[in-house]
Amino acid sequence: MSANLIIDSITRHVQLSADEQAHFLSLLKSKTYRRKQFILQDGQVCKYSTFVTAGCLRGFTVDQNGFEHVLNFAPVGWWIADMYSLLTQKPGILNIESLEDTEVLLLSKHDQEKLYHEIPKFERFFRIITENSLVSFQQRLIDNLSLTAEERYHNFCRRYPTLIYTLPKKQIASYIGVTPEFYSRMQHKMLLKDKK
């Protein structure tokens, strides 16, 4: 059940007493979304950190030509938010949308800040996952600067072995930074290679 999932994911990094766990859980609101619903739209202020307990979300931006670019996926067990907007409480540029029917737990910015003061271990937990997130975005930036589309595809497969089967191909294409057309060609080419 979803309370276990989120507590487990936290206690992998910091230890919590039963009281602390209960207090934390009491702050969460649960919510469900149908496939293709928007959790957040650009221009809105992001008010929650969102933890996915079932389904999958995607964060993406829309550029001046109307093209979408996937910043991140949030499958079960992951947190997602428009960090810029959440931190500054100004209108953001990120859209967050469900790729399947999805269940989430919401932690408001206000409660999150309060939690940091009441129980510093939660500040530690969020520091740690922010650090890990930073490392993976740095790596992804370097990959985009130094690898070919095909190499980025292989990295994606290694890092998200389950998502490869469940996500629509155009979403993966957008994540690694190519058009669906080129992605399709690339897969065809790789298939030929593998046969040899």
Note the residues at the interface with its own copies (CB under 8 A).
61, 63-64, 67, 69, 71, 83-84, 87, 93, 116, 120, 123-124, 126-127, 130-135, 137-142, 144-147, 177
Tell me the closest approach of the beta carbon of residue 142 to its own copies, in angstroms.
5
Side-chain half-sphere exposure of 3, counting CA atoms within 13 A: 10
Partner in contact with 183, chosen from its own copies, DNA, none, beta carbon below 5 to 8 Å by kind: DNA
The smaller minimum CB distance to DNA, of residues 125 and 153, is found at: 153
Among 184, 192, 193, 196, binds DNA (CB under 7 A): 184
Mask 60-79, x = binds DNA (CB under 7 A)?
A: -----x-x------------
Partner in contact with 138, chosen from DNA, its own copies, none, beta carbon below 5 to 8 Å by kind: its own copies
Maximum separation of any 2 CA atoms in the chain, in Å: 61
Piece of the chain touching DNA by CB under 7 A; list 10-18, 19-27, 124-132, 168-176: 168-176
The smaller minimum CB distance to DNA, of residues 27 and 164, is found at: 164
3-state SS track over the chain: CHHHHHHHHHHCCCCCCHHHHHHHHHHCEEEEECCCCEEECCCCCCCEEEEEEECEEEEEEECCCCCEEEEEEEECCCEECCHHHHHHCCCCCCEEEECCCEEEEEEEHHHHHHHHHHCHHHHHHHHHHHHHHHHHHHHHHHHHHHCCHHHHHHHHHHHCCCHHHHCCHHHHHHHHCCCHHHHHHHHHHHHHHHHC
Alpha-carbon distance values, 134 to 105, 127, 140, 162 (Å) = 23, 10, 10, 22
Tell me the closest approach of the beta carbon of residue 137 to its own copies, in angstroms.
5
The smaller minimum CB distance to its own copies, of residues 85 and 98, is found at: 85
The smaller minimum CB distance to DNA, of residues 44 and 187, is found at: 187
- Site size with DNA, rule: CB under 7 A: 21
Interface with DNA by CB under 7 A: which residues? 35, 65, 67, 148-150, 168-171, 177-185, 187-188
